[in-house]
Amino acid sequence: MPLVRIDVPAGNSADYLGAVSAVVYRALVETLNVPEHDNFQVITEHAPGRLVIDPGYLGISRTDAAVIIQVTLNAGRSTVLKQAFYRAVADGLHEHAGIRREDVVIGLVEVVKENWSFGNGDAQYA
């Protein structure tokens, strides 16, 4: 179960937010082998000055339209799969939401399976 947090600047359309959500979900399924329907996302819009993203870290030029995507997921995927995910998200967001590839910041947080509860107070993967 990935839990995805997507932080975007405020003022975007519902179509934009839907496209961002769909791209991230499809990339999870197609590159990181997440099962269909395993889709849990929190999308948060931020007023100016409330989403701080360095405009030039590591020599990458970012704009005020940059987004941050954080995915908490089960540990164990290879670097190759993670790199494919990063590329699929950046390319998909560029194609479907008009976001510059340079404006896509992604962080993965890996956890062990017993750290999840899908409801009823049970640890279904433990």
Q: Which residues are catalytic?
A: 2
Report the C-alpha gap between 6 and 92 in whole angstroms.
Answer: 15
> Are 72 and 2 spatial neighbours (Cβ–Cβ below 8 Å)?
yes
Largest Cα span, the chain:
47
For residue 100, what are its two tokens? 């510059």
> Are 92 and 20 spatial neighbours (Cβ–Cβ below 8 Å)?
no
DSSP alpha helices (H): ranges in 1-126? 14-31, 79-97
Report the C-alpha gap between 4 and 103 in whole angstroms.
Answer: 17
For 74, other C-beta atoms within 10 Å of its C-beta total: 16
